[in-house]
Amino acid sequence: MELDWTTYPDWIPAQREAPAMELDWTSCSDWASAQRRAPAMELDWTTYPDWGADPPFSPPGSETVVKFDAYGDGMGRYNIFSYQHNADRYGYVPIGEWAETLSLSSDLIRWPREVVPPSQCSDPCARNEMKKMQAGEYCCWICTACEAHEYLADEFTCSPCAPGQWPSEDLTSCYDLPEDYIMWEDAWAIGPISIAVVGFLCTSLVFWVFVRHNSTPLVKASGRELCYILLLGVFMSYSLTFLFLAKPSPAICAMRRLGLSTSFAVCYSALLTKTNRIARIFSGVKDGGGTTKPRFISPTSQVFICLSLISVQLVLVSVWLLLEVPGTRRFTLPERRQTVILKCNVRDSSMLLSLGYDVLLVILCTVYAFKTRKCPENFNEAKFIGFTMYTTCIIWLAFLPIFYVTSSDYRVQTTTMCISVSLSGFVVLGCMFAPKVHIIMFQPQKNVTSLRLNINRFSVSGPATTYASHASVSAQYVPTVCNGREIVDSTTSSL
């Protein structure tokens, strides 16, 4: 007899086949003895139909009926209880049973908050959540929220939207975000525009004064041709504010790149031509050559030199525009994906590199202004040019760090750029033109012509005659000195 005692069905037939066999299964000797006493008992326990054919039976001394299903398993029977609060105590209340079928008294069940709880492994995920399945599970998952810039590709996947896009309301797709740029009515635009308008008015006033007094000695001695070119550059610098605040487009971007560097080139080319002329006049006064007139100091020559310097910048900008075609791009910061900035497709580094030629002009102007700082009062325009260049250097040395630090906020960066350019224009107007306009408008007695004296450069004093306001007065000529050299050519009155 060979039995598999680990299965419950094997045990019941064994009891029926050998009811008189009483063994002590706690010892191994009884097990071997049982095998010897029942050698002829051979059962086929692998055939389930034999089991299904056995009728239900009741164990001795028990009223419980033991039944088997078609697979030889015992039929279970269960009582169902509900833990409830009755009166003043908690207890288990029978509400049904299971005996081949379910018998349940639903009216005896008391659910919390009168709501039937769901019978499931995991709750459904929210609209912005995906299902993260558990390892080895098919009905249980963890709900994981998608990022703000992600949409649901399916119930198990969150996919990020492309740069410049944002998930739709139902998170099933992405849409293009509206482009952000400075509006004319923004507070960031009102300030620079106000400054530029004031600059336009001041530039127009200076231009009107110079045109009205175009033939006066002061305007002539100031180099009126270069002054008009300088005023044009200042006017262009104020115009840049409106270009930088306008909505970016290919045309606007091209005008920005062309106007920024060119406006500075116009201003500083005129100033460099002025300072270079003054420096050459005084450097030419050498021993034995004091009466030699320097070359290329006529108004025509000065204009030609100035335009040549400007044309260099125009060529550089033209090449830049050909190498990097103007256009726009949608820019998005990684930490602010919900904001799309409409910008020109030019790098900040490229924009600053385009000012390299202008920086060279500023440096040369500053050097010449420093060299001519000791010129006499009749030539003190060099001193005003020096003030202009020193102040310009301070402004741009302060602007460059601010421009890079504020690169993360295009509004602050654009506003800083506009104000810095406008301040450069005000520096030129204040240092170069304000003293001249003051003399022309409020001190006309100084706007006179002094007679050029042809005397020996070694004389210390001598009689001279000047003409001022149709009146002739007697004066003593005393040669003045600039950087240790005598001045033999003085045609401008004191500023």
CB 429 within 8 A of CB 206: yes
At residue 477, what are phi and psi to the nearest 5 degrees?
-85, 125
CB atoms within 10 A of CB 223: 22
CB 221 within 8 A of CB 492: yes
- pLDDT of 221 reads 82
Burial status of residue 106 (CB atoms within 10 A of its CB: 0-12, 13-18, 19 or more): exposed
Q: Where are the beta strands (DSSP E) in 200-246?
A: none
User: Rounded to whole angstroms, what are the CA distances from 476 to 109, 458, 487?
Assistant: 126, 15, 15
At residue 445, what are phi and psi to the nearest 5 degrees?
-65, -20
The H or E element containing residue 93 is: strand 89-99
User: Rounded to whole angstroms, what are the CA distances from 80 to 67, 104, 181, 280, 365?
Assistant: 20, 8, 69, 114, 101
- pLDDT of 284 reads 59
Residue indicated by tokens 């406008």: 422
pTM score, two decimals? 0.65
Q: Which residues contact 401 (CB under 8 A, 6 or more apart)?
A: none
User: Rounded to whole angstroms, what are the CA distances from 323 to 244, 314, 317, 414?
Assistant: 22, 14, 10, 24
Residue indicated by tokens 């003409």: 467
- pLDDT of 191 reads 93
Instruction: Tell me the DSSP string of 108-165.
Output: G---GGG-PPP--SSPPP-TTEEEEEPTT-SS-EEEEEPPTTEEEEETTEEEEPPTTE
**Ranges of the chain with pLDDT below 50:** 1-53, 286-288, 451-495
User: Rounded to whole angstroms, what are the CA distances from 302 to 148, 220, 227, 309?
Assistant: 63, 13, 11, 11
Report residue 446 as tokens. 């100084």
CB 346 within 8 A of CB 417: no
CB 302 within 8 A of CB 226: yes
Beta bridge pairs of residue 157: 154
Query: From CA 169, how far away is CA 463, in angstroms rounded?
Result: 94
User: Using CA atoms in the order 285, 286, 288, 291, what is the torsion angle rounded to 10 degrees?
Assistant: -10
- pLDDT of 403 reads 79
Domains and CATH numbers, the chain: 77-114 (no CATH), 129-176 (2.10.50.30), 191-447 (1.20.1070.10)
